[in-house]
């Protein structure tokens, strides 16, 4: 059994050497030979003949996922309310990708999109609940409930509607995968995270767990994925509207790079698409109710540096009052470089 296990590992992961010195090479198909005189590796499609709906499919994460899913053999329906952008993505990818207009805040649109998958392909294997909107900068005491209702209709209600109608067609087949886009704002909070968006995204892991429990008995897996900060078109547009008109993608990427725990690397839409591919493939067959956080460990960082604290305490003791309120003011003013990178004010100064 051990030998067989090692053999499988060699086939799956590449060349390996057994304890007796036997070299195991990956399985290769017949075809043109490469430089080492071995036939080239053939990529294994991970979503062969699967049918997937991706809401918000015309945006950064959605279009990246659509391209990757299609390259792995899936038929993809891009569901988005931006018809022009959606059709453009279809033209760019071609082949296995279709577009369907869908405003996820409207139940009729969500139901029609799921029905469209049945009409075109006879089934629905995957729903990637990815549509979302950003919210204005607000405080609790000045919270605009119209803004709250508008954002929640997409970011929360839209997720629930997607789960409802995907379950409607998946339960009879006793199989299916639902993936919800959350955010690092689903597991963290702070002054640099937009209030309504923060509250909305905090709902998603909980909804995912509840859905995973109730749908698991029907063979349906439900997970969510939490991206780090991304300089997508939606995020750039938000900063142009609320922070600085002439801000651009390069400036945002520079800000994200400053706070990335992974030196010289920022999160990309392709990173999120690859995580989505894993959670929507059979490779994650016993994973359900989980939140995959793709942030290079950013949300694991505790904003506490003993040496920095000593400096702040010294500064507080040298101030006129030496009071706790003075020390708090100094702390708030100086902040921490790692966590200030998401502060719109700091970004606007880069």
Q: Which residue's structure tokens are 């505790």?
A: 302
The residue ranges of every structural domain in the chain are 51-230+267-296
Q: Per the confidence metrics, is the pTM higher than 0.75?
A: yes
Q: pLDDT higher for 348 or 162?
A: 162
- For the domain made up of 51-230+267-296, give the CATH fold: Rossmann fold (3.40.50)
Convert the pLDDT of each residue in 127-179 to its tens digit. 999 999 998 888 999 999 999 999 999 999 999 999 999 999 999 999 999 99
CB 202 within 8 A of CB 185: yes
What's the gap between Cα 19 and its chain centre?
41
The pLDDT mean for the chain works out to 82
pLDDT in tens, 87-104: 999 999 988 999 999 999
DSSP notation for 10-69: HHHH--EE-TTS-EE-----SS---TTSSPPP-PPPSSTT-EEEEETTTSHHHHHHHHHH
Q: Which residues are catalytic?
A: 183, 197, 201
Q: What residues pair up with 226 in beta bridges, in sequence order?
A: 293
Cβ-proximal residues to 268 (8 Å cutoff; 6+ apart), any chain: 230
| Cβ neighbours, 10 Å, residue 2 | 8
């Amino acid at each position: 059994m051990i030998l067989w296990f090692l053999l499988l590992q060699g086939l799956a992961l590449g060349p390996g050497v057994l304890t007796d010195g036997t070299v195991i090479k990956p399985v290769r198909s017949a075809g043109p030979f490469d430089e080492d005189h071995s036939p080239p590796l053939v990529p294994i499609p991970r979503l062969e003949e699967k049918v997937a709906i991706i809401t918000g499919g015309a945006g950064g994460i959605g279009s990246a996922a659509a391209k990757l899913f299609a390259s792995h053999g899936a038929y993809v329906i891009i569901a988005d309310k931006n018809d022009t952008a959606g059709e453009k993505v279809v033209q760019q990818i071609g082949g296995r990708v279709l577009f369907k207009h869908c405003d996820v805040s409207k139940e009729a649109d969500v139901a029609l999109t799921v029905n469209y998958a049945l009409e075109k392909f006879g089934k629905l294997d995957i729903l990637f609940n990815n549509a979302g909107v950003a919210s204005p900068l607000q405080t609790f005491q000045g919270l605009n409930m119209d803004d709250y209702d508008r954002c929640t209709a997409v970011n929360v209600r839209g997720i629930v509607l997607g789960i409802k109608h995907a379950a409607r067609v998946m339960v009879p087949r006793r199989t299916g995968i639902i993936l919800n886009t959350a955010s690092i704002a689903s597991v963290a909070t702070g002054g640099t995270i937009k209030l309504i968006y923060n509250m909305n995204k905090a709902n998603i892991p909980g909804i995912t767990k509840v859905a995973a429990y109730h749908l698991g008995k029907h063979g349906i897996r439900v997970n969510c994925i939490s991206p780090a900060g991304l300089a997508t078109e939606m995020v750039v547009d938000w900063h142009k509207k609320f922070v600085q008109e002439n801000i651009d993608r390069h400036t945002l990427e520079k800000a994200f790079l400053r706070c990335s725990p992974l030196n010289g690397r920022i999160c990309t839409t392709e990173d999120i698409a690859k995580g989505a591919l894993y959670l929507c493939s059979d490779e994650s067959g016993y994973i359900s109710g989980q939140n995959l956080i793709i942030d290079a460990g950013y949300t694991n960082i505790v904003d506490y540096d003993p040496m920095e604290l000593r400096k702040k305490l010294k500064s507080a003791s040298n101030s006129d009052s030496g009071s706790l309120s003075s020390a708090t003011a100094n702390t708030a003013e100086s902040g921490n470089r790692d966590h200030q990178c998401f502060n719109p004010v700091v970004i606007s100064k880069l």
